[in-house]
Structure 1
Amino acid sequence: MTTIQDIADKLGISKGTVSKALNDAPDISETLQKQILETAVELGYTKLRRYKKTAKRLCVIAQKDNIEYLEPHHFAYDIVMGFRQMSEPAGFEVDVVPVDVELQRETSFDVFMLQNDYAGAFVLGFSLGEPWMKDFQATRTPTVLYDNHIIGNPATAYVGIDNDEGMYLAVGYLKKQGHQKIGYLSSALGSHIMQVRHRAFFQAMHRHGLKADSSYSGCSYYLSECMEKHLPRFLDMGMTAVICCQDTFASAAITQCQQLGYQVPRDISIIGFDDIPICPYTSPPLTTVRQDRTELGKSGYYALSSLMNGVSIGTVLLHADLIVRGSTAAPRQ
């Protein structure tokens, strides 16, 4: 196990200087402290400053540009709440830490965790291009990622719902209603979960014996472009149903169809993904694949606790659930 002396020897400085840097002494410059922390991480130093504190500390890290969590109607609010419901009774302090790309570029993930004395992290809202996504590949800190999968690092785990199951349920329900031509609208495939759902759509269509080629999918970075370019194309192709990557896309699709003179679900059925709080209140109410976000938060703690106890859990997927509401019906004959 790496010691303070090992860090001192590596940098050619005194053991006392290393100790001061690890304990936030005011007479150590920020530059030197950063160098010492980075070296500590490089050498695998894990004996943090917990002897000074009675509470064990965890953090929920939220990419603030991608995911909202502060209010009850925000998508990740229940995820954070579920995590805290499990972790705080177990004796952990939990900090919810908003981060952006700038912070990730300034400080590596492991240095951030060491600086703040966090024993583990639950990570929300990260796209594939985030700087810390590379750090997660080599981190030794127990880290659970929601809707992201790090391959080959036993210190990390992936928590989410079974999107293959969810898409299979959605396509199967539409087929049972009589739909044959089903399209898929998605945001750009710049995140792991968007790639998973895109692939799951085509797999589900194939498993249900329905035709689907690349023209059955429309992906755009901007929601407006998806609605103005791909949705009219689907309607021109004679699609009778559309599955959307997220409920926000599905809600926008309902509005766009109505503006184009189509009635939902009489002329076209629409299914979303996630079951965000607005779904029962769209017009018509939105059929969607539900994620139980409180249970996802609890599963995040379960996976993190396992990692911290030396059990290298890889993936925890909750069952998906199709919630049928008024935006779907049998196609017109």
Structure 2
Amino acid sequence: MTTISDIAAKLGISKSTVSKALNNATDISAAMRKRVLEAAAEMGYISRRSYGAEKKLCILIENMDYKTPNQFGHDIVQGFLQMAEADGWSVEVVPLTMEFQRLTPYGVFMLDHGYQAAFVLGFSLLDPWMQEFKATQIPTVLYDNYIKNNPYIASVGCDNQEGIELAIKHLIGLGHKKIGLISGPLDSYILKARYRAYLGALKKYKLEVNEDYIGLGYFVAESTRTYIPRLLEHGVTAILFSHDVRAFSAMTECSDRCIQVPRDLSIIGFDDLPMTAYTTPPLTTIRQDRIGLGRCGYFAINCLLGGLPIGSILLRAPLIIRDSTGPAPVE
């Protein structure tokens, strides 16, 4: 375990200077404190402050709304808080940006705030801290991301393969043979996982895999405007969406184009957001138990803090059948 003496020797400064930097003393320059924190983080130093009177965890969140019950991240945060606060932890929810990550190393941030572990939501593969997670010695749990070969990192999510296979099987039972996918760009671990699950399910059930049945785009409304008519032109009769929000947009687009759901096109979302039961028609979707995911996030952190190098926790992803899927149109 890295000590204050080790940090002092590396930097060629006194142990008292290192101690002052790590304990926020006022008689040390900001530049020196930054230098010490960066070295401490690089060497895997664990501050004694982290094991003091206050038990502190953080939820780091980016690209995910969470403040109101209708937003995807809300229940994940609440599930985590329910478990952590009952065990006496203080939890801070910290919104982040890529720019902040570029300016502040992950280890420095955690040391500076005295956090013992982090639950990370909404990161893409492009986030700077995703690279730092590969070598960190700070217990860290990722939602819908995965880091190999680091015993201090765990992940939680749902079984995308199972959920998408259930969706494809349901559509096959309704007579659909040409099933499309509309998704965000493949710059996130989870969108890649759902894309692979879609391809795997088509192959499993011996359906045609055709690039013309797939639409990938960053902007939700623009993607649906572009790809729904294009997929329909290629004879697609059902579309799986990577998220419910994209499915909502598709239902609006279909209404504007006088495409009747599910008579002309069946639609399946992913997430089971609260409003899915109240769309017109109610949305068939793959459910993520978001409260459960938050609880699993805390469970995984507890394991890591206890020295148990847990890998991944996957929850079941049931298909919730509503009225946006129906028999394939007769050709």
Could you list the per-position Cα deviations for residues 201-228 of structure 1 after superposition, in whole angstroms to 9, with x for gaps in the alignment?
0101111121122222111122233212
Of stretches 23-32 and 192-201 in structure 1, the one that deviates more from structure 2 is 23-32
Query: How far did residue 50 of structure 1 move?
Result: 4.0
Kindly indicate whether the alpha-carbon contact (under 8 Å) linking 1:185 and 1:243 is maintained by their aligned counterparts in 2: yes
TM-score by length of 2: 0.97
The answer to whether the 8 A contact 2:213-2:234 is kept is: no
Structure 1 SS opposite 2:134: helix
Show the counterpart of 1:318.
Answer: 315
> d(CA) in 1 for partners of 2:3 and 2:199?
52
Looking at structure 2, the residues matched to 325 and 48 of structure 1 have their Cα atoms a distance apart, in angstroms, of 53
Residue 12 (structure 1) aligned with residue 9 (structure 2): no
Secondary structure at 1:134 match in 2: helix
Aligned to 1:43: 43
C-alpha separation in 2, matches of 1:205 and 1:195: 16
Moved more, 156-165 or 87-96: 87-96
**Which residue of structure 1 lines up, in the alignment, with residue 53 of structure 2?**
54
1:80 matched residue in structure 2:
77
Greater Cα shift, 28-37 or 217-226: 217-226
Kindly state the Cα deviation for residue 37 of structure 1 after the two structures are TM-superposed: 0.7
- The 1:106/1:264 distance shift into structure 2, 3 A limit, reads same
The more displaced of 162-171 and 71-80 is 71-80
- Shift in Å at residue 42 of structure 1? 2.0
Q: Is 1:48–1:114's contact at 8 Å kept on the other side of the alignment?
A: no
Distance 1:269 1:225 in 2: 20
Q: Aligned Cα RMSD in Å? A: 1.1
Count of aligned pairs between the two proteins: 330
Secondary structure at 2:72 match in 1: coil
* Counterpart for residue 157 of structure 2: 160
- Following superposition, the deviation at residue 62 of structure 1 comes to 0.5
In the alignment, does 2:242 pair up with 1:245? yes
Between 3-12 and 117-126, the greater mean CA deviation after superposition: 3-12
Please, which of 120, 125, 145 is the counterpart of residue 148 of structure 1? Answer: 145
Which deviations, in whole Å up to 9, do the C-alpha atoms of 1:148-184 show, x marking residues without a partner? 0111111101100000001000000000111111111
Runs of 4+ in 1 over 6 A off after TM superposition: none
Q: TM-score, normalised by structure 1?
A: 0.97
C-alpha distance in 1 between matches for 2:48 and 2:92: 17
Deviation at 1:2, TM superposition (A): 1.9
Unaligned stretches of 5+ residues in structure 2: none
Q: What's the offset of the Cα at 1:111?
A: 0.9
1:122-133 aligned at under 5 Å gives the runs 122-133=119-130
Q: Distance in 2 between matches of 1:2 and 1:323?
A: 50
- How far residue 55 of structure 1 moved from its aligned partner, in angstroms, is 2.2
Which one-letter code corresponds to 1:17 in the other structure? T
Question: Displacement, 1:115?
Answer: 0.8
Q: 1:263 and 1:157 mapped to 2: Cα distance?
A: 43
By how many angstroms is 1:248 displaced? Answer: 0.9
1:279 is aligned to 2:276: yes
Q: Percentage identity across aligned positions?
A: 50
- How far the C-alpha of 1:332 sits from its partner, in A, is 2.7
Q: In 1, are the aligned partners of 2:50 and 2:116 still within 8 Å (CA)?
A: no
The CA deviation at 1:105 is 1.1
Per-residue deviation, residues 63-104 of structure 1 (Å, max 9, x unmatched) = 1xx101111111111001101111111121111111111211
Q: Is the 8 A contact 2:180 2:213 kept in 1?
A: yes
- Give the secondary structure class of the aligned counterpart of 1:242: strand
Structure 2 residue 264 is the aligned partner of structure 1 residue 267: yes
Measure the CA separation in 2 of the matches of 1:146 and 1:83.
12
* Structure 2 CA distance for aligned equivalents of residues 263 and 43 of structure 1: 60
The residue aligned with 2:197 is 200
Does structure 2 retain, via aligned residues, the 8 Å contact 1:265–1:328? Answer: yes
SS in 1 for 2:17: helix
- Provide the secondary structure at the position in 1 that maps to 2:101: helix
State the one-letter code of the partner of 2:60: I
Instruction: For residue 305 of structure 1, report the CA deviation from its aligned partner.
Output: 0.8
Q: Distance in 2 between matches of 1:183 and 1:43?
A: 48
Residue 10 of structure 1, CA deviation:
1.6
- Any stretches of 5+ residues in structure 1 without a counterpart? none
Cross-structure match for 1:235 = 232
Aligned mates of 2:294, 2:80 — CA distance in 1? 4
**Aligned match of 1:254:** 251
Please identify, of 204-213 and 315-324, the stretch whose mean Cα deviation from structure 2 is larger. 204-213
> Secondary structure at the residue paired with 1:278?
helix
Q: Name 1:295's counterpart in structure 2.
A: 292
Rounded Cα–Cα distance in structure 2 between residues aligned with 1:264 and 1:50:
54
Please tell me whether the aligned partners of residues 144 and 157 of structure 1 are also in contact (alpha carbons under 8 angstroms): yes
What SS does structure 2 have at the residue aligned with 1:59? strand
